[in-house]
Structure 1
Amino acid sequence: MNTFAIHAGSLFDGYSMAGPVTVYVTGDRIQRVDRSGELPAGGVEVIDLGPQACLLPGLIDSHVHLAFDASLDPVASLAATDDAALLDHMRTAAHSALQAGITTVRDLGDRNYLSVLLAEEFAAQPGAGPEILSAGPPLTVPGGHCHFLGGEVEGTDALRAAVREHHARGCAVIKIMASGGTMTPGSLPPHASQYSVEDLRAVVDEAHRLGLPVAAHAHGTQAILDALEAGVDSLEHVTFLTADGVNTDSDVLSAVAQSGTFVSLTVGVHPRPRVVTEPPKALVVQLEKIHANFRNLHKLGAKMVVGSDAGVVPFKPHDVLPYGVGALAKMGIAPLDALISVTSTAARLCRLEGRKGRIAAGADADFLVVNGKPDQDVAALLDVEAVFRAGVRVR
């Protein structure tokens, strides 16, 4: 196995910052971490990235859709694309993410389990793309949010059977649409619930029996509370919508924060989308309240990660995650906490703790190297010097 060392002027190890570091890699794993600041005396290849370079664990995007193309109408694009062409597009999308230093993604909704195929492909050739944790087609009610992906199911027995099928197909996580959404004409609005507590609990019980976590798409306040009661592992979006706007009730926020369930905030927009439109004023007001809720969740100690929702709109291409980290910083969340959310905390959510999201002996040799001090200014994440995936330099 190939052995080499990476030397950088500073280190973010997934938890805290440190000074100069030399990380020794053998094969696809970290062998040891030397924080003395000294370069190896000899006998090993050294990649010296310079004093301005900061070495970080590869980033983890906990919510992507590789099958969506970040166009004005990704649903129509998907419908017009056969599986072979769609898989090619997904490869390109995954490569884009990897080039930005995103070395692990949770794909929370595809068609025909294509992301499972891609995950197997990248497992055999890790330098070709990020590690993928696939949900397959998300579970949704007939005609419900994202039903066109093929996951329509209702009734507790059918839901349990669907979980078993996803497990048999090789999925790493179960995604259920607890509330409506905005992408699917004719489906329930985002604030409305799609499943009962009993339905959600049936999915959670079956998934946990099989060793799989459950991610719940939950915009509506009632759907959020129902998903919490059912015991889901992560809440996606968490916008606390009601028929009248955004719920800012402190008791509701406290219930989410104290539950121990991960909250996946789908924030971050690319500043140069292919199509630029001004959002309606009402939406701007809503977003201000949503972001205030996010700040309060952080203050209350919620287990917070960033999932970009990459692919669903033009301003969310598949390399958008660093802008999501920036969005947290703009909300007043400390840069270090924002970095933790897309590394060590995200690894815990993905059940990859110890292998991903950290720089320590035994962890995967997935690295992002940037120029600057990301603990002071997260914009440094955009100044990429190098990316390594499983010990292979890919940028």
Structure 2
Amino acid sequence: MNSYAIHAGSMFDGFSLSGPATVYVSGDRIVRVDRTGALPSDGSEVIDLGPSACLLPGLIDTHVHLAFDAGPDPVTSLGSTSDSELLAQMRAAARSALLAGVTTVRDLGDRRYLSLTLVEEMAGRPELGPEILAAGPPLTTPGGHCHFFGGEVEGAEALRGTVREHHARGCSVIKIMASGGHMTPDSVAPHASQYGLDDLRVVVDEAHRLGLPVAAHAHGVQAIRDAVEAGVDSLEHVSFLSADGIAPDLDLIDTIVRKGTFVSLTLGQDPGAVQQMPEAVAAFVNALLDVYSSLHKHGANVVIGSDAGIGPMKPHNVLPHGVADLAALGVAPLDALISMTSSAARLCRVEGRKGRITPGADADILVVTGNPADDPAAILDVQAVFRAGVRVR
């Protein structure tokens, strides 16, 4: 069994930043954390990364699409790609995320459950990619948003049956398209609801009965309202979009905060691609950022779901840029780090095993140069990545 100690000048454990630390790893788990800064005296192998290094839990991206290629037209690309080619693409996407320090991803939409094929391939081979918490094909109405993934379903009994099938196949989360979206031609408008409150309740009740959380894609105000009332675990995008544009509904935000519903904010953008955004897209993004600022200021449970894969701004290694995005909204970098580690682990129901550095947790560890609690850019200066105890970078 592989055993060693990692020593660095500081450590963020998923909740707070402290000084020099030594983390002891045995196999795929953390077995001891020494915060005195002392090096082991028992002859253990030591990976000393120096006084400027900071240890962090591996990052958790709560919303990715490994099946999208982050190109200019990922939907057309998906449609022209065979399953074998798509799996190869998804393997590369997963590896790209891992090398950036993202050691867990929640894949919220694939074709024919291909993400579960990756889960099987990567079992016992942590060097291949992050742990994948797969949703399989997202539930959507006939011809609805992302229908090309194959998850079209309507009617209470069919919805229950689809949730049961996802559970039986081994999915970790149920994804439902409560509203329309921007990537599906000839479907309903992004602000329009696809499922009503009764259907959402059917899905939530069945998923929770089976022990699965529910993630609701929700741009429109009514879709957000219904998803919260139905008891979903996370709201994806949360754009507060109407036919007139984007504007936060403060009463609805208060309801989200009161009910403790997680909001998975679509943050993290490649800076180079952002500079080439069309003016209309930039205006939409800026309005969305104002909504996200309101959610944070009102105390919502914020996590970051990058939506990696949906376009050139969203390569699969983009999540770390979300720290700077949140900081630009006035969020302290330390709170941003919490949102993509311990808080994300709580949403994904892997709390204690992921998102923190503590005895018994998975040895998923990111090492960067500098102090990411002071400087958001430090999260991009990766020295090392460990996945389930295996050093992959």
Q: How much does 1:258 deviate?
A: 1.6
Query: Is the 2:33–2:358 contact (alpha carbons within 8 Å) kept by the matching residues of 1?
Result: yes
CA distance in 1, matches of 2:188, 2:279: 21
Q: How much does 1:276 deviate?
A: 6.0
1:170 maps to a residue whose letter is G
5 Å-filtered alignment, 1:1-395, equals 1-273=1-273, 277-281=276-280, 283-395=281-393
Query: Is the 1:139–1:153 contact (alpha carbons within 8 Å) kept by the matching residues of 2?
Result: yes
Tell me the C-alpha RMSD between the 2 structures. 1.1
1:306 maps to a residue whose letter is I
CA distance in 1, matches of 2:89, 2:248: 39
Where 2:296 maps in the other structure, the secondary structure is helix
1:71 maps to a residue whose letter is G
CA distance in 1, matches of 2:139, 2:350: 24
Q: TM-score, normalised by structure 1?
A: 0.98
**Cα deviations by residue, 1:272-328 (Å, 9 ceiling, x for unpaired):** 23x9633224x4444333222212211221110000000001110000001112100
CA distance in 2, matches of 1:142, 1:249: 29
Q: How much does 1:3 deviate?
A: 1.1
Where 2:32 maps in the other structure, the secondary structure is strand
CA distance in 2, matches of 1:258, 1:132: 30
CA distance in 2, matches of 1:386, 1:119: 23
Q: How much does 1:246 deviate?
A: 1.3
CA distance in 2, matches of 1:248, 1:292: 8
**Cα deviations by residue, 1:195-220 (Å, 9 ceiling, x for unpaired):** 01001000001101111100000000
CA distance in 2, matches of 1:75, 1:264: 22
CA distance in 1, matches of 2:277, 2:264: 25
CA distance in 1, matches of 2:275, 2:77: 19
**Cα deviations by residue, 1:27-64 (Å, 9 ceiling, x for unpaired):** 00000000011111132000000000000000000000
CA distance in 2, matches of 1:149, 1:288: 29
Where 1:208 maps in the other structure, the secondary structure is helix
CA distance in 2, matches of 1:284, 1:86: 30
1:96 maps to a residue whose letter is S
Q: How much does 1:394 deviate?
A: 0.1
Q: TM-score, normalised by structure 2?
A: 0.98
Question: Which structure 2 segments of 5+ residues have no match?
Answer: none
Question: Which structure 1 segments of 5+ residues have no match?
Answer: none
Identity of aligned residues (%): 69
CA distance in 1, matches of 2:374, 2:244: 38
CA distance in 1, matches of 2:386, 2:233: 29
Query: Is the 1:253–1:293 contact (alpha carbons within 8 Å) kept by the matching residues of 2?
Result: no
Query: Is the 1:258–1:301 contact (alpha carbons within 8 Å) kept by the matching residues of 2?
Result: no
Q: How much does 1:131 deviate?
A: 0.2
CA distance in 2, matches of 1:268, 1:6: 29
Query: Is the 2:248–2:294 contact (alpha carbons within 8 Å) kept by the matching residues of 1?
Result: no
Query: Is the 2:240–2:249 contact (alpha carbons within 8 Å) kept by the matching residues of 1?
Result: no
